[in-house]
A and B are shown apart, each in its own frame.
Chain A
Amino acid sequence: MGGGLPQFARPMNAAPISPVYHLTHPLPLDSGQVLEGAEIAYETYGILAPDAANAVLVCHALTGDQYLASPHPITGKPGWWERMVGPGKPIDTDRHFVICANVIGSCMGSTGPASPDPGAADGQPYAMRFPVITIRDMVRGLVALLDGLGIARLHAVVGGSMGGMQALSLAANWPERAARVLVIAATARHSAQNIAFHEVGRQAIMADPAWAQGHYYECDAKPDNGLAVARMAAHITYLSEAGLTEKFGRRLQDRPDGTKGAKSFGFDADFQVESYLRYQGSGFTRRFDANSYLYITRAMDYFDIAEEFADIPGGGKLADAFVGTQARFCIVSFDTDWLYPTAESRHVVHALNAAGAKVSFVELSAPHGHDSFLLEHDQLDRVVKGFID
């Protein structure tokens, strides 16, 4: 294919799956390696204006995907941010062309450890041969997609959690590519506590005998137990203590035979909260690849924007990443989010102030911890709408 024209195709597996953009060049990575023949699966909503000025890129979180406002092909559940994105919604697809792409390293159609390794003679999946990637590498992939779609400058880039990290990374490394940057419940660096929780998850996966050093793709047994435990541990960090207490308290789970819940004096899921976590864990294994979980959590742990700018003269402060930016920023945190607490958002805001950037910041009150950004919240809706419009 000459002329650098984008190639669009649909993958051969499962039916209702997203269009895929084939990168026209090898994707350089922060590790120094390159990713050959990378593919990015994406969904779009709305219509791109003739001048391509109405595009909004929404970046997904760790276990998210491109099914932002359309049903998930595996779970059949509504898109993960359908309450925020759609006709007449705060991110209004009647006005904006909204793009959401699966990040590289993930497993919903974009190149990741489960994809065939072009360097392998037998066409086997990469598994652990997949290069370790960073948040900036993910964004580099997204920027390539924007090039392919003919979008020089986004009306806005939006993201919550790891999506917010991508939005910040785009603003820092490709400052001319977005006019507005909306960062919700995110951080500019992973803390020791963040890394610690991720390490628990990774160790759970790698301790599962079925993980088999990552080479489980041909096997019947997948490291589902390890992946489920990783998800259970992570899920706790997405909720608040008060939220858990309100939802479950110490209430006991009814038995499978329909009898009233009682302590079993054994290790069944006696408590509702146990039952809930087990359900979350096992449900997750049906839609997510364990190796992708290793790679993406690694990328998040490596994330520290200030460090990326430490090599420039006098650099190393977060503000250095944003000097001269013309974008408008809006940073939102939640008061019960202990994964990426308000202090982390304030740290970003102070850096943006020091860099002279146009920045808004609001800490919203919500009972549900980190996950609040995905849930019903009128104030968040108004902030998002006000900022995007």
Chain B
Amino acid sequence: MLLHAPTTTFGLRPDLAAIAHNVMPGSRVLDIGCGDGSLMEVLETHKGCDARGMELDGTLVERCVARGLSVVQGDANTDLANYPDKAFDYAILSQTLQTATRPDLMLDELLRVGRRAFVSFPNFAHWRTRAALMFGGRMPVTRALPVSWYETDNIHHVTVEDFRDLARLKGARIERACFFSGGKQIGAPAANWRAEFAVFELSR
């Protein structure tokens, strides 16, 4: 089932806009890797959510605090352990899974602290990435993956199909999903070829 297409982007990145649009109003949300808090602010302002954030970069945390958001400087690889089970209605992990030390364990933690989870990531099987590797013979540098292999934070590249497999392995149910290419939402067919970014909503 597809996630509802956002009717407004709230000025957010497309994957975040899709998440913002599909979070139930008034819910408790943990945004892991919340960056400058843009999504949290939209969730608090427009959806009446109680949003909390976790972010590794102290400069970004400071910006969040200055916006009046509740954000903890911490490492999602280790610090999720401090939250009680099902403390949140949603745990959100946007474009961070591929930077995790152990994405499989992080997925477990997401579904432990949240009743549901939203996960977005760049799809390594997008045709541009495949072409770059196949014809260029080098690690792809594309608009979705703009950083060279030696300095990227992405240490566990993942494809749409890999993620579906991981969810199955972890006993997570894929509630909904949506896919983006060129900043626009695209349909599910052949998403593993066509999607630059994917957003999944999971439960367990």
The chain A residues found within 8 Å of chain B, CB to CB, are 328, 330, 346, 349-350, 353-354, 356, 358-365, 379, 382-383, 385-387, 389
Contacts and interface: CB of A to CB of B under 8 A. Distances in A.
Contact of B64 (A356, A360, A365): A360
A363 B58 CA distance: 7
Contacts of B70: 328, 358-360
B69 to A, nearest CB: 7
The 9 A-B residue pairs with the shortest CB-CB distance in the complex, in nearest-first order: A386-B66, A350-B82, A358-B70, A361-B72, A362-B61, A360-B65, A362-B73, A386-B65, A383-B65
Contacts of B83: 353-354
B52 interface: yes
A349 B83 CA distance: 10
B72 A387 contact: no
A365 B72 CA distance: 16
Nearest to A357: B70
A308 to B, nearest CB: 21
Contacts of B84: 354, 356
14 contacts: A328-B70, A354-B82, A358-B70, A360-B69, A361-B71, A361-B73, A362-B73, A365-B58, A379-B62, A382-B65, A382-B66, A383-B62, A386-B62, A386-B66
Given A353-B72, A361-B73, A382-B62, 15 more contacts: A349-B72, A349-B82, A350-B79, A358-B52, A359-B70, A360-B71, A360-B72, A361-B74, A362-B62, A362-B73, A365-B58, A383-B65, A385-B66, A386-B67, A387-B66
Interface string B112-129: 000000000000000000
Query: What's the dominant secondary structure at chain B's contact region?
Result: mixed
B189 interface: no
A346 B81 CA distance: 13
Nearest to A333: B73
A385 B83 CA distance: 28
A364 B67 contact: no
Contacts of A328: 70
B105 interface: no
Nearest to A387: B65
Interface in B63-107: 64-74, 79, 82-84, 87
Contacts of B62: 362, 364, 379, 382-383, 386
A389 B68 CA distance: 8
A328 B69 CA distance: 10
B82 A363 contact: no
